[in-house]
Amino acid sequence: MNSSSSSLVRNELDPDRLPKHVAIIMDGNGRWARKRLMNRINGHEKGVETVRTIVRTARQLNIAALTLYAFSTENWQRPKAEVAGLMLLLTRFLDTERPTLFDNQIRLNTIGQTERLPNGVRQKLESTIAETAGHTGMVLTLALSYGARAEIVDMVRKIATSARQGSLDPEAISAETIADHLYTRGLPDPDLLIRTSGEQRISNFLLWQIAYAELYFTPTLWPDFSKDEFIRILQDYQRRERRFGAVPSASTGP
């Protein structure tokens, strides 16, 4: 951590109470563009700049995992030109952010039905994942062609297949078994879920994993989301008491 980020944590955040895993539903690119009479792709381009800022800030703060909802299974229904533009932006992001991934020891990861991505995009994604596999600074997960219901269906099929083949006793299936068959295997569950743009819904994102996550909804459109607002949300997170269904301690009152 550099001196500026150390000062940031010292003055505004408790480094011992930061979330280990932050997940973000990045929403509002289209509305940002529409308000400015611009093409939706212009909004997505501006949104990529925000991604760059938040990734670097999370790394500076030593947050262990950051997961970004970049493209949902439902997004395939958008106009072909917009989908093609999004795929081009993803390819550019992987190219331009490669130095950041290496300089900051960020390991790239992905979740979702990535086999549906265009071949060129998928190959670029897979090569970047392989090249950063040994990085230990932070895990950056891009949810691409992702939907939580599809993930749960895939999980059930895998477990059912193992049970049918006799390699898994149905009576032994536990919450850990389920987690081990999800796309997010190996990642901690999110401690904090942020959604931008004022919408207050989860939109088929990490439905199993966010069971005990703290939720934060901001009216800010994703292209306008800033490092300062991210810090303020983390401050709010640190003021919350996470009990995971337990009774409050005597010191905290009712």
> Which residues are identified as catalytic?
27, 75
In angstroms, rounded to a whole number, what is the distance separating the alpha carbons of residues 227 and 50? 9
Of 18, 86, 31, the residue nearest 219 (C-alpha): 31
CA–CA dist 192, 242 (Å, integer)? 11
Give residue 150's region: left, alpha or beta (phi > 0; psi -120 to 50): alpha
CB contact set of 100 (below 8 Å; sequence gap of 6+): 52, 55, 56, 106
Pairing outcome for strands 65-72 and 214-217: unpaired
* Exposure class string for 18-53: b at 16+ Cβ within 10 A, else e: bbebbbbbbbbbbbbbeeeeeebbbbbbbbbebbee
Question: Whole-angstrom Cα distance, residue 180 to residue 173?
Answer: 11
Q: How far is CA 87 from the centre of its chain?
A: 18
Q: Is residue 187 within 8 Å of 63, Cβ to Cβ?
A: no
Please state, in angstroms and rounded to a whole number, the distance separating the CA atoms of residues 180 and 80. Answer: 35
DSSP 242: -
